[in-house]
Amino acid sequence: MACSNLLEYRGWVYPSQIYDRDKLEYIYNEFQVRDQDVFSITYPKSGSTWIQEILTLIQNDGDTTISQTVPIWERVNWLEPSIFSLDLDSLPSPRFLSSHLPVNLFPKSFFTSKAKAIYTVRNPRDVLVSLHYFSKVAGFLDELDNIEELLPKFLRGEVFGGSWFDHVRGWLGVRDQVNLLILTYEELLQDLRGSVVRISNFLGKELNEAAIDSVVENASFKIMKNNSMSNYSTFRKDILDVQKGSFMRKGISGEWKDHFTPAMSESFDAAYKEEMKDINFKFIWDQ
């Protein structure tokens, strides 16, 4: 992935085909967050779509009618990309919204609201691998680099989403000031049922056992991969072309081990150790 088609905005990097400065500025300065809003926040390739599906299913008490008939981007609307021109102000509450924004670009009004946000983090090594394959499917990313060439750019934050380290540090840094549930992709994989219960408790939504069973079943990788309303097969082909590779690709953790040479691992670990040294938070992959 080259930087040629990437827009730099206040130290962050986004694909210029689907993001623009005006919308980013509007979202930061003017977008009015409501107390009833629920956000899913992620660095790209960290499980955004998975959380969107889980939120839809929880909101519908496990009923699959909406998740099987309405495209995922219309159920949990994206906040900042400019390709989505829907007027979010016209949506009734509670709004379910998705964002890749870091703390310092997120709507200012969020920080004085009672809105809830779920921040999902994934092992950055697997994020890097997922991003590499995603660049083959995404028309808005140049598909130039192999994983080895992408690695130093990822560590410098010169990829879609900017610096993973800054993103994670930023959101962890405000976790005691806002209504934030922190999850990891790996916990979702290890214990989807427990994670669904945590999310529904956080939302104050009571689900019976049958509803929880249905959320867990229908948010499984297999069912989502075959759900044309969730796998992006019906999306604009110039933006995402799943003929070139799957959006729902592997859905596993630890794939990086098949792609990192010992030298890549060493440079990643050194950067990770330095960048995360002041973080008082143990991720599942740190243990």
Which region among 138-146, 152-160, 220-228, 269-277 touches ligand A3P (by CB under 6 A)?
Answer: 220-228
Sign of the torsion angle spanned by Cα atoms 164, 267, 254, 143 = positive
Nearer to ligand A3P, 155 or 189 (CB): 189
Nearer to ligand A3P, 34 or 187 (CB): 187
Q: Report how far residue 12's alpha carbon sits from residue 162's, in angstroms, rounded to the nearest whole number.
A: 5
Q: Which of residues 234-263 bind ligand A3P (CB under 6 A)?
A: 248-251
Rounded to the nearest 5 degrees, what angle is found at the Cα of 255, between the Cα atoms of 1 and 162?
Answer: 35
100 is annotated as an active-site residue: yes
224 makes contact with ligand A3P (CB under 6 A): yes
Taking CB under 6 A as the criterion, the residue among 40, 46, 184, 214 binding ligand A3P is 46
Q: Which of residues 136-195 bind ligand A3P (CB under 6 A)?
A: none
Taking CB under 6 A as the criterion, the residue among 221, 244, 271, 279 binding ligand A3P is 221
Per-residue mark of binding to ligand A3P, 65-104 (x: CB under 6 A): ----------------------------------------
- At its nearest, how many Å lie between ligand A3P and the CB of residue 72? 9
Q: Which of residues 103-122 bind ligand A3P (CB under 6 A)?
A: none
Taking CB under 6 A as the criterion, the residue among 59, 130, 195, 218 binding ligand A3P is 130
Which region among 44-52, 151-159, 167-175, 260-268 touches ligand A3P (by CB under 6 A)?
Answer: 44-52
The residues assigned a catalytic role are 100
